Amino acid sequence: MDHGNEQKSVTDRVGRVDGRRRLVLAVLTGLVAVLFFLPIALQEAETAVISQGDHGRDLYLYDVVAKGGIYLRDFGYIYGPLSLELHGLVFRFFGASIKTALAMRAVLLVLLVIVSYLSYLRYARPVPAAIGALLVASVQLPFWHTFNHIIISIGIVSFIGAAAPWLAGDTKRTPDENTGRGMKLGVLFAALSGFLLLIGKFKTGFSLLIIIGLYLSVRRIIQRNRRRGTGADTSAHLREKRGSGTVETPEGNTGAGMRTAGIFAAFSVFLVLIAKLNIGLSLLFGVGLYLSCARIIEWNRYRRTGTGSFSFLPSRRTLVLFCGALGAAAVLYGCYLVRASGDEVVRSFPYTGAMKQDFGNPFVGYVRNLKFHSAKSLTVDGVRYKFLRGEFVFTAGIFAFIFLIVNGGYSAVNRLRIRFASGFLGLLVVVLVHEWLAGGNIYPLAFYGAPAAVALVVLAIDHAVTLCRVRFDKSGKRIFPAGRFLPPAIVGLVVLANLAHVAKQRYERQIHLLTMPRGGAGVLSPNRGETRGSGGAVSDSRADCVVNPAEAFNRIADFIMKETDSGERVLTLPYTVIHNFLADRPMPTNHLEFMKISVVSPEDERKVTEAMERYPVRLVLLSNEGLYPAVGGVDIGRFPDVCRTIFEYIRENYEVVGVIGEFDRFPGWVGNHGVLVFWRKSDAPEEKERIERYKKELRRPPADWLTRGSYIDAHE
């Protein structure tokens, strides 16, 4: 009897069964994701938080791309071209509207859950992987911020999954093979990406540096004649068999499996690079640091013991693919840069200099947000709808990292793998949240740090379960049967709580629809005594804050569409292009932001006034945000002070005809929104008659509109 063939047959059958189980679990996780996020998507489609800042910029630029606009030539964008091209394509086929954008967001959320599940499954059992997948998606902020971050999170979590084979260890090679290559390539990756990240601007020398780096990397790899083994496990890489000290090594740890892992890792890096350049470079920077540290640690262990060891470095092919991903991203950006204007390039890469945003000490802001939301007991106010914030996930990742380092496992092999994986994921968390460390911006904790932090949590949960099972097996006791059903029960309760919360809001709050053709969404009426405006507490004198005033957006859009011709250019200030999108009226200039942090130069102001004269622009809208030095904690500056030339041109050539919306109230990014309406002066009788009609139909502006905000504490 051929025991070898019989053993192979059994292994094949087990592999097929495991494959079916993983497929079924992936489908079930996707269904849970739909149940979990569909109510959120429906709620947003009917009770959308409308932000006139980032929302307007994203929606407006997606529409520009759908109509043939080109990144860096026709406009600047602080993110990469991926989100622009993707949403532009969707707008082109399904129509430009908030409803289309929300549907796309729901699809991306479900995709994020599925990709996260498949990635975390390479580190843990199905249930912890499913919990981690839902967790990493639940920290994505709802529709009041940019749409770009979900795509970045998908790329990061895909990379984490593809990197799992490195962390399983290579048993077919000792550190004396290819000596020094990992460290030298690591230094190259870290130095190149770190230099680009610090400079943050494209110049002619950048392309040359990338070419030199690619040449040195490929040349160094080709010089090595020995091919590396690939003894890495491609599924559940860091788990040990129950009750034993051996490590699971399923089929697929060589050949096509490793090639696929390398391709996915490189492709994920490419996606992140073209979604947001500095995050992609920081990802490569983290890989470079890991390569260097892993090489040093492995070589020191080999010199100390003199025996073979595991290797926790990626394959040679993967490193070549990384170089290819960096080169492909450089070529893609180069194609855009060939047709780019200098101003748009500077505005698209504001990582250094005056355009760098500063939100204060990052740790002080982190603790403040953690204490504030802990005091609220994670209650949901219906405006910022989410179960967990990035601060909590980041904190959980810290505790998980400490647990994994301290309790690395009971066998030497498993302990080594757990600690390498923990170090790798912890390093990714640090480099991916560099925007938070550098400027205090809290959002990167949720957008960029969450995938790696959740991976640490998933790994910690799975490892804790393994330790408990082994100890129970050794003691001869059994785990309480209900314990295995506890995680799925928690997930089910969260889904039910989500559905109940949405139903409760439907019952308690009235929905006001956005009636313009590009709306397709609605806005909830605020609660009685609502005291939260743009995300922070307001004083008692402003307790009448109106959140998400659908009526104001409807009236502003109706006014623009009624009083201007199709295709006529309308200037909205200082950062309210949401009205241009909703009314389907283009801006007269590529410059969309007129704030202090946007660094509007005298040359920029001259170009804007020339465009206003050339078209000419008849209608100008100035939102109440432009009259206050800061809104929502962002130092935007008062528009009359930031853009004196433009403002004086408006006062000289335009006449104030009234206000629309909640102009008299203290503004927020998502609440108390109103605009001051300017119409161009003219000697034509019909234009004079039009101005007089506006003054009668529209509400008069407050007498102190020009000076209000100059004496208001911006952070009150």
My answer on whether 363 and 263 are in the same domain is yes
My answer on whether 452 and 537 are in the same domain is no
- Quote the CA–CA distance of 88 and 220 in Å, as a whole number: 41
Alpha-helix residue ranges (DSSP H) falling in 380-485: 390-406, 412-432, 434-439, 443-447, 450-475
- Residue 417 belongs to a domain: yes
My answer on whether 488 and 557 are in the same domain is no
**Backbone phi, then psi, for 658, in 5-degree steps?**
155, -175
- Quote the CA–CA distance of 431 and 158 in Å, as a whole number: 17
- Report the candidate in 338, 342, 336, 337 with the shortest Cα–Cα distance to residue 603: 342
Instruction: Decide: 263 and 321 in contact? Cβ < 8 Å.
Output: yes
My answer on whether 240 and 358 are in the same domain is yes
Q: What residues of the chain score a pLDDT lower than 50? A: 1, 3-17, 45-48, 170-183, 197-212, 214-219, 221-237, 239-256, 374-387, 527-544, 711-716
DSSP state of 426: H
What kind and span of H or E run contains 620? Answer: strand 619-623
- Residue 520 belongs to a domain: no
- Residue 515 belongs to a domain: no
My answer on whether 553 and 467 are in the same domain is no
My answer on whether 214 and 325 are in the same domain is yes
Give the pLDDT of residue 645.
95
Residue written as tokens 């989100």?
Answer: 83
My answer on whether 298 and 411 are in the same domain is yes
My answer on whether 101 and 219 are in the same domain is yes
Q: pTM for this one?
A: 0.80
My answer on whether 288 and 355 are in the same domain is yes
At 545, list the tokens: 């804050």
Cβ count within 10 A of residue 511:
15
Give the pLDDT of residue 490.
63
Q: Among positive and negative, which fits the CA dihedral 261, 265, 270, 271? A: positive
At 674, list the tokens: 């109103």
Alpha-helix residue ranges (DSSP H) falling in 476-549: 486-508
- Residue 19 belongs to a domain: no
My answer on whether 272 and 133 are in the same domain is yes
377: left (phi over 0), alpha (psi -120 to 50) or beta: left
Q: Which residue range forms the structural domain that includes residue 578?
A: 526-697
Instruction: Decide: 343 and 77 in contact? Cβ < 8 Å.
Output: no
My answer on whether 544 and 438 are in the same domain is no
Instruction: Decide: 269 and 276 in contact? Cβ < 8 Å.
Output: no
Q: How many domains does the chain have?
A: 2
Cβ count within 10 A of residue 584:
16
Residue 660, strand partner residues: 675
Amino acid identity, residue 372? F
My answer on whether 372 and 460 are in the same domain is yes
Residue written as tokens 């999170």?
Answer: 153
